[in-house]
Amino acid sequence: MATIETPRARPASTPRPRLTDRLVRFAEAATTPLLPADYLDLFHPLRSGASLRGRIEEVRPETADAATIVIRPGADWAGHVPGQYVRVGIDVDGVRQWRAYSLTHGPRADGRISITVKAVPDGTVSHHLVRSARAGTLVHLEQAAGEFVLPPEGGPLLFVTAGSGVTPVIGMLRNLFPVVDDGVLRLPRSAGHDIVVVHVAPSEPDSIFLDDLRALDAAGAVRLVARYDDVHGVLDVDELGELVPDLAQRRTFACGPAGLLEALERHHEAAGLELFTEQFRSARVEPGDGGTVSFTLNGTTVEADGGTPILDAAEEAGVLMPSGCRMGICYGCVLPLREGAVRDLRTGEVTTASSLESDTGGVPIQTCINAAAGACDIDH
């Protein structure tokens, strides 16, 4: 006679997996070596929970060598304060390059953001964005950062800008004094601001946002002092007292080339005046094959060849590393690359980072599938 066994109850210590958990495991198994999220990224790259990206929606020329890039950021974009910047990552010839650009507006009702880029000589990223970027292109983003913002109490202010250094300032001014078809709006947040703008450019045609500045000047929102090198010569900071007679009563905000900012720092320090500056210094990182890997917090330096994952090279040298699948799937090994270059061993793509471009903590990389492509510094 056959015996019938009564099903054993599942022990309380091992609860039955939830249906959603089982479905996730099934989806992961079916899509290996990729994750379901990788497929979602193909169809909805700007979704919440994905790596922060943006889609270029418009490239609008400003001058012969500058353009405004309008971007639709991903759902996890946290917003910004006018004057802050965003780090943008874009792949150029197989190398992911990151650069910092000021946001040229305040918060927008349509959720979009914009940066204005000037194509600088030998500028890989700036030339690509101004000359080659097209609507529909996806770019990588970091959250907005920076302390170059308006003081909440307002007061008498002086902005000194040169070239593309006007970009963070125009973001502040557009937020204070929006320009509409009927003219310049005077909003409660603009009350108490007394602003002079000394804007320097090589020539009038090369002056970015000159029409915006002139419109604000004509409406009495700001007082514009425009200086063109081909007409007035290079600005001598000792002339500021003549251009702005009440200079001593104003707090100065300046953004532009290093030479101008250094001269302003010397001038204002000698005169005992307040000065706040913003400067983006780009540093080129030339990818190589292998190199030293320094771990900032650990204090260890490891020699790694160009074919060994950073995770393996570090562990062989005795560095305790976070890890998981070791296949590039689980993202359990991610650490911030603060400076240098790494190469993805699966695709050959190179990711670079420069400590001079941002203080936001570095670019996240997967150490299990990236090898050193030159000397690099990792925060660990």
Average pLDDT, consecutive stretches of 10 residues, N- to C-terminus, the chain (380 residues): 39 49 50 47 74 94 93 95 91 79 91 92 85 92 91 93 93 90 81 94 92 93 94 92 96 92 94 88 61 84 91 90 81 88 86 65 86 91
Angle, CA 286 vertex, CA 283 and CA 292 arms, to 5°: 100
Paired with 199 in beta bridges are: 161, 226
Is 368 within 8 Å of 333 (Cβ atoms)? yes
Q: Specify the CATH number for 53-141; select among 3.20.20.70, 3.30.420.310, 2.40.30.10, 3.40.50.300.
A: 2.40.30.10
Architecture of domain 155-278: 3-Layer(aba) Sandwich (3.40)
**pLDDT score of 380:** 85
- Residue owning tokens 């479905």: 23
* The predicted structure's pLDDT at residue 20: 53
pLDDT at 10: 42
Q: For residue 38, give both structure tokens.
A: 């990788």
Residue 299 in 3-state DSSP?
coil
Cα-to-chain-centroid distance, residue 325: 30
pLDDT given at position 100: 85
- Measured CA to CA, the distance from residue 365 to residue 198 in angstroms comes to 42
Check whether domain 291-378 has CATH 3.10.20.30, yes or no:
yes
* CATH topology match: 53-141 vs 291-378: no
Q: What span, in angstroms and rounded, lies between the C-alpha atoms of 349 and 369?
A: 11
Tally DSSP H helices, then E strands, for the chain: 9, 20
Residue found by looking up tokens 């309008």 in the block: 70
* Spans of all domains in the chain: 53-141, 155-278, 291-378
pLDDT for residue 200: 94
Cβ pair 317, 380 in contact under 8 A:
no
366 close to 307: Cβ distance less than 8 angstroms:
no
pLDDT digits (tens, 9 = 90+) for 252-271: 999 998 889 999 999 999 99
Nearest partner of 88 among 47, 49, 35, 124, judged by Cα: 124
pLDDT confidence of residue 40:
53
Q: Are 99 and 126 in contact (CB under 8 A)?
A: yes
What pLDDT does residue 42 have? 54
Q: What is the pTM of this model?
A: 0.67
Q: Phi-psi region for residue 166, left (φ > 0), alpha (ψ -120 to 50) or beta?
A: alpha
Q: Which residues of 172-200 are buried (b: 16+ CB within 10 A; e: fewer)?
A: bbbbbbebeeeebeeeeebeebebbbbbb
* Cross-strand bridge partners of residue 294: 301, 377
Dist CA 339 CA 375 (whole Å): 8
Alpha carbon dihedral 368, 373, 379, 380, in 10-degree steps, equals: 40
Alpha helices in 64-219, H assignment, sequence order: 124-127, 167-176, 210-218
Task: Quote the CA–CA distance of 43 and 40 in Å, as a whole number.
Answer: 5
